[in-house]
Amino acid sequence: MNAGGGPPFNRILRLFRDDLARPEVQELERALKEISRRYRELGRPLRHDFARVWENTHVLIELRRLAAAGRIQRILDLGGGNSPVSYYLAEQGYQVVVVDADPVVVEEITANANAFPPGGELDALLPAEGRWPIADDSIDAVSCISVFEGLLRGERALFWSEVRRVLKPGASLLMTFDYGVDGRYVGDPPTTIEEIMTEIVAASEMELVGEPPDEPVFDPEIGPPVKTVVPTVDGMDYLSVAYSFGALHLKKPAG
């Protein structure tokens, strides 16, 4: 359990229903759906994926806990696409900057923020050759939802360097990622707890907040919670795959 009495942030999802019945998860998902509805009716649809419900709400709950424990003003939503998460955070009064490699996403967020100011500040920026146009030591928290598994291994050292550069000393990175062997069909995620500890925690050169996640024991009849279908290598058939999501809270060293 975490300090707020809920499940730990650092974990591998076992079943969606383990969390989706929690009142705080339902409350946040209703808020995200309402934001998506408003923009859809304005002809400006956001990206609101059902598969991201657990990740979005899991990160937002931890951000709430951090905000209650100390001062958080400026949040970086890293690679979040045009999802309702950044709009929700801006409506809560935070200064939110989205960094996304897709110029269409940056254009859409910028246009929406200019036409319908969300209450707080919302900005969107493009990286330049993997570097983010953000000042050193200027970010209070980074949210990074299902981005890591899409990074090429050769890009990851620069990714971690940029995370450490923009975060204030002692500030947090809240990240989620795909997890499991079948996740390799759709990205390059960790497949074991050992890989999480070496490829994420150690490689980040940051501090793990809390205990490492436990290896999940999936329901033998259900298996991992995320189900999808991918084409075979020869493109002649399709393959059903199943994997999970993981989450980690990392902190930039204070010294």
Secondary structure of residue 164 in the 3-state scheme: helix
CATH architecture under which domain 11-216+245-251 falls: 3-Layer(aba) Sandwich (3.40)
Domain-by-domain residue ranges, the chain? 11-216+245-251
User: How much is the pLDDT for 99?
Assistant: 97
The pTM score is 0.94
Give the pLDDT confidence score for residue 186 in this predicted structure.
87
A 10 A CB-CB count for 6 gives: 16
- Count of alpha carbons within 13 Å of 3, Cβ hemisphere only? 9
User: Residue ranges of the chain with pLDDT lower than 50?
Assistant: 1, 3
CA-closest candidate to residue 247, choices 139, 140, 145, 98: 145
Decide: residue 236, CB within 10 A, 0-12 exposed, 13-18 middle, 19+ buried: exposed
**Residue 241: count of CB within 10 angstroms of its CB:** 18
Identify which of 107, 188, 180, 196 has the alpha carbon closest to the alpha carbon of residue 151. 188
CA neighbor of 45 nearest in space, from 109, 129, 1: 109
Q: What is the pLDDT of residue 5?
A: 61
Phi and psi, residue 125, nearest 5°: -135, 150
Dihedral sign, Cα of residue 85, residue 199, residue 205, residue 4: positive
pLDDT value for 28? 97
Supply the pLDDT for residue 51.
78
Contact at 8 Å (CB) between 247 and 11? yes
Question: Residue ranges of the alpha helices (H) in 42-176?
Answer: 53-69, 84-91, 103-115, 156-166
Q: Which of 117, 166, 161 is nearest to 140 (CA)?
A: 166
Whole-number pLDDT of residue 80? 85
- Where are the strands (E) in 120-237, listed by range? 121-125, 139-145, 167-179, 207-208, 226-231
